[in-house]
Amino acid sequence: MADQPLIPPFGKKVHLEDYDPSFTNGMSKDDAKAREKKLEARMGELQEMLYAQGTQSLLVVLQAMDAGGKDGAIKHVFDAVNPQGVGVTAFKQPTPEELAHDFLWRVHPHVPPKGYIGIFNRSHYEDVLVVRVNQLVPQEVWEKRYEHINAFERLIAERGTRILKFFLHISRDEQKRRFQERLDDPSKQWKFAMGDLPIREQWDDYMKAYEAVLTRCHTEAAPWHVVPANKKWYRDLVITQSIVQALEEMEVRYPDPEPGLESVVIPD
Amino acid sequence: MADQPLIPPFGKKVHLEDYDPSFTNGMSKDDAKAREKKLEARMGELQEMLYAQGTQSLLVVLQAMDAGGKDGAIKHVFDAVNPQGVGVTAFKQPTPEELAHDFLWRVHPHVPPKGYIGIFNRSHYEDVLVVRVNQLVPQEVWEKRYEHINAFERLIAERGTRILKFFLHISRDEQKRRFQERLDDPSKQWKFAMGDLPIREQWDDYMKAYEAVLTRCHTEAAPWHVVPANKKWYRDLVITQSIVQALEEMEVRYPDPEPGLESVVIPD
């Protein structure tokens, strides 16, 4: 398959069948891994500067079907960052207290403060994905959420949070392969949940719901990346690269020293 | 200097002058680094099992004088752990809202839930350290806090949280050297705060306050480690070793698979 964009063109409907989940841009696994290691080290440096500077933050949103690689990506992409500057929030099924509020109420407190990287493992997008596919609320409710999400993301972007959203795109076959691997490998069985199977049955409905998300909540302030994720090494490289590029664009740097620092004498 | 215990004997007054901050147990830097790398990899494995098992948690408390190496230890010791399973909380000067509550109110929400490692960069101990040294509350108030802390730590330990507390012990000379390094290195100047100098003047008072903490809040459920921290590589090795040992003792392991997993067939 020919070249394919990582970031879909803005303002156009996204069709996922145009995106090959096995795309690797002609790279070999070894090349990709070597490149990623280098970028990881650079990410570590940039993160320290982000933290030191303390004026901007970065939010990374990860969405995918089950076994799409969200956990693996977090583990591998953020290898070299200082855990002190990173907060990961895994959004699970909402609690009764969370359901007693608007859908962004539980998300808002986890937006990364200045200096920090925040990672969402699933996110507010579940409220237009699982909720839409299963009609957990009426359509007139979930329909309005796309605009609420855009407004929310604009709010935090204007305040200095760079937002990068990644849809980890795997094929249905690849999901089957990974489920089977979880069943077969004793150290992975804990990741397998019977409940994942009925969700697999809804694959096509989920793809439609993802296409709506990728089309309607895809803005320059908070762009989606459609990450070809059948190959884990390519997935990790693409995410790492995108984050490093964003941090470079943010021009993070060490802050100026306190005035008068040059004349300080430290007493014994 | 001869051998010195990492964990002071229980029930005895701790005198910090008995603990050499430059102690390295006869190890070379290269040996220590190689050993630490291996232990880090093991920590990564154990953490995944802790997470998978989801029945216990680990709380790591770090306390030190300024430039004692809390940030550096976090960065280096937790290199290989998945950031998803780790939460770092840096306790700063309390906000007005926090001050309107008891001193443990702001700490409690950050105790790691089952499956997680929580790291406290500073902690509730500040309320018997900076608060005591500067008499920010009357003695009759801070005096009672040692017992409150012991009760609190017992509470969370009984619920399945293993607690490891590390005092990173540096000498006054070493602090001066590190301050000077921060002044001289443009990439470290942001770490230097003028406000650190008056605190340095109170060194002896702080050592007394630390000795009280190390004596009065040193329990089998939540032991203190006096980490010789003049050498960063020895500090990191000691902390890594202690955490790995604790996780081994906790017998973390992958949970049993859901019953019936062997007969699951994944549909196309």
Domains and CATH numbers, chain B: 16-252 (3.40.50.300)
- CB-based contact A78 B75, cutoff 8 Å: no
DSSP helix/strand/coil, B29: helix
Does residue A33 register a pLDDT over 60? yes
Does A92 have pLDDT greater than 80?
A: yes
User: CB contact, 8 Å: B261 with chain A?
Assistant: yes
Q: Is the pLDDT of residue A246 over 50?
A: yes
Residue B259 at interface with chain A, using a CB cutoff of 8 Å: no
B213 alpha-carbon distance from chain centroid:
14
Q: What is the mean pLDDT of each run of 10 residues along chain B (268 residues)?
A: 86 97 96 96 96 97 98 93 95 97 98 98 98 97 98 97 98 97 93 94 98 98 98 98 98 91 90
Q: How far apart are CA A14 and CA A235, in angstroms?
A: 20
Q: Inter-chain contact A189–B257, Cβ cutoff 8 Å? A: yes
Flag if A75 and B82 touch (Cβ within 8 Å).
Answer: yes
- Count CA within 13 A, CB hemisphere, residue B238: 29
pLDDT of B143 reads 97
A193 and B258 within 8 Å at the Cβ level: the answer is yes
CB burial of residue B211 (10 Å; 0-12, 13-18, 19+): middle
In this model, does residue A233 exceed pLDDT 50? Answer: yes
- What local confidence, expressed as pLDDT, does residue B1 receive? 47
What kind and span of H or E run contains A227?
strand A224-228
Select from B78, B86, B266 the Cβ nearest to the Cβ of A176. Answer: B266
Nearest chain A residue (CA) to B70? A84
Residue B85 CA: distances (Å) to CA of A7, A78, A87: 29, 12, 10
Interior CA angle at B51 toward B45 and B52, to 5°? 90
Geometric angle at alpha carbon B51, from B47 and B56, rounded to 5°: 95
Contact A75 B84 (CB under 8 A): yes
pLDDT digits (tens, 9 = 90+) for B128-137: 999 999 999 9
Kindly state whether B55 is in contact with chain A, defined as any CB-CB distance less than 8 angstroms: no
Mean pLDDT (chain B, rounded): 96
Whether the predicted pLDDT of A2 surpasses 80: no
Q: Among candidates A192, A216, A171, A31, which has minimal Cα distance to B257?
A: A192
**CB–CB contacts below 8 A, A to B:** 109
**Average pLDDT of the segment spanning A72-91:** 94
Output B135 or A2, whichever has higher pLDDT.
B135
Q: Is B45 on the interface with A (CB under 8 A)?
A: no
pLDDT of A259 reads 86
- Contact criterion met (CB < 8 Å) for B258 and A180: no
**pLDDT for B2:** 60
Residue in chain B closest to A180 (alpha carbons) equals B266
- Quote the CA–CA distance of B200 and B193 in Å, as a whole number: 12
Look up the ipTM and state it. Answer: 0.90
Res A79: pLDDT:
84
Report CB contact under 8 Å: B261, A82.
no
Nearest to B180 among A201, A254, A266 (CB): A266
Distance CA B251, CA B232 (A): 29
Does residue A1 carry a pLDDT above 50? no
- Nearest by Cα to A243 from A3, A6, A2, A4: A6
Residues A34-54 pLDDT 10s? 999 999 999 999 999 999 999
Beta strands A117-121 and A161-169: pairing type?
A: unpaired
Q: What does pTM read for this prediction?
A: 0.94
**pLDDT number for residue A260:** 87
Q: What is the mean pLDDT of chain A?
A: 96
* C-alpha B22: how far from chain center: 19
CA B85/CA A69 separation, integer angstroms: 16
